[in-house]
Structure 1
Amino acid sequence: MIYRFRVILDNDTEDDVFRDLEIREGDTMEDLHNIITQSFGFDGMEMASFYVSDDQWNQGEEIAMMDMSEAGNNVKMMSTTTINTIIHEASTRLIYLYDFMNMWTFYVELGEIVEEAQGTDYPNLMFVHGQIPDQAPEKVFEAEEDDDDDYNEFEDEVDVDDYSDLDFDENWN
């Protein structure tokens, strides 16, 4: 069977940037990584990971390019994990992070599962929409969205040199 994915750049601009691609269900997550990087024009030489996602795009279990875990922690590896063990009708979404220094973030969603077409080479880039920007879109975190410019974390009227109100002996050691 062939899985058809839409891969969307997490982009705060008005222009949508996405790629539609096809890949065999038995191919590895590394094969999926390779077609994603190629379809967006990356060289594929940076660190990357997939994360299983739910319907609200919450980040779940990691499928890593390289095992950076500590002893005893089993991490699924892209090179040994087949797509159909992660993605199926009940679990259709992944988050893909490429280049941990720049944090290119993509939403990967299974669109449909179809029969393999005779004469088609897989993986297959089906459709390209939008151009990837020169730099990864900056992430805005919730704390940064507050427009309370009057707030200063250091203006809490606490004198850090005054120990009289504290419940400990300053010569405790």
Structure 2
Amino acid sequence: MVYKFRVILDAEEDVIRDIAILESDTLEDLHNAIVNAFGFDGLEVASFYTCDDTWNQEYEIPMFDFGDVPGENKIMSDYQLADILDTENTKIIYVYDFINMWTFLVELAAVENTVETGMIYPNLLFSHGEIPAEAMEKHFQADFEEDDSYSEFEDDLDEDDLDAFGGEDNFEDFGFEENWN
């Protein structure tokens, strides 16, 4: 089967690419197709993120395993597209270059049962708009009001807590030296 994706850059102007790719290809193959379709050099780190129907970011699928134990975390090349996306789960977020934060909304627009003879996949089907010189600035906000930001996380360390460790001057048990630097 062939998956057809619409990839939209999170920008003020419409920048869209439609990509056809085989369902048996990996997320790494989709990453490479997106990099090529948008004209990036491919030298930056990227990740996909699963998301819900309203694009709320969930689980990260990175390019590389940065875990403490090699092979502990799954990466893009470990997932075939059909493992993550289908007619029920059609959306995924892609972030390229964690310095500039190029963010893309990737949606499975169609699934076709037949592979076109002579077609090379992945294939750029449609291109609209030019990528801007800089990524759109992201404004991250907390879910709570600024005035209430500390009420939920009050410091509850008191003398009883310090006494449990032998007082505030008794931290030898933790292996800290007074002049450690």
Bin for the TM-score computed over the shorter chain: 0.7 to 0.9
2:38 aligned with 1:40: yes
Q: Deviations over 1:75-119 (max 9, x none)?
A: 321122111101111211110010011111000000010121122
1:31 — aligned with what?
29
User: Structure 1 regions of 5+ residues with no counterpart?
Assistant: 152-166
User: Structure 2 regions of 5+ residues with no counterpart?
Assistant: 148-157, 160-166, 170-181
CA RMSD of aligned residues (A): 2.3
Distance 2:121 2:43 in 1: 22
Distance 2:115 2:71 in 1: 37
| TM-score, scaled relative to structure 2 | 0.76
Alignment of 1:157-172 (within 5 A): none
| TM-score, scaled relative to structure 1 | 0.79
Identity of aligned residues (%): 50
Contact 1:62–1:75, Cα closer than 8 Å, also in 2: no
2:9 aligned with 1:9: yes
2:135 — aligned with what?
136
Distance 1:126 1:35 in 2: 11
Amino acid at match of 1:137: M
1:110 — aligned with what?
108
Query: How far 1:73 sits from its partner (Å)?
Result: 8.9
Q: 1:79 aligns to what SS in structure 2?
A: helix
1:66 — aligned with what?
64
Q: 2:99 aligns to what SS in structure 1?
A: coil
Q: 1:60 to 1:118 in 2, by over 3 A?
A: same
Q: 1:76 aligns to what SS in structure 2?
A: coil
Aligned residues: 151
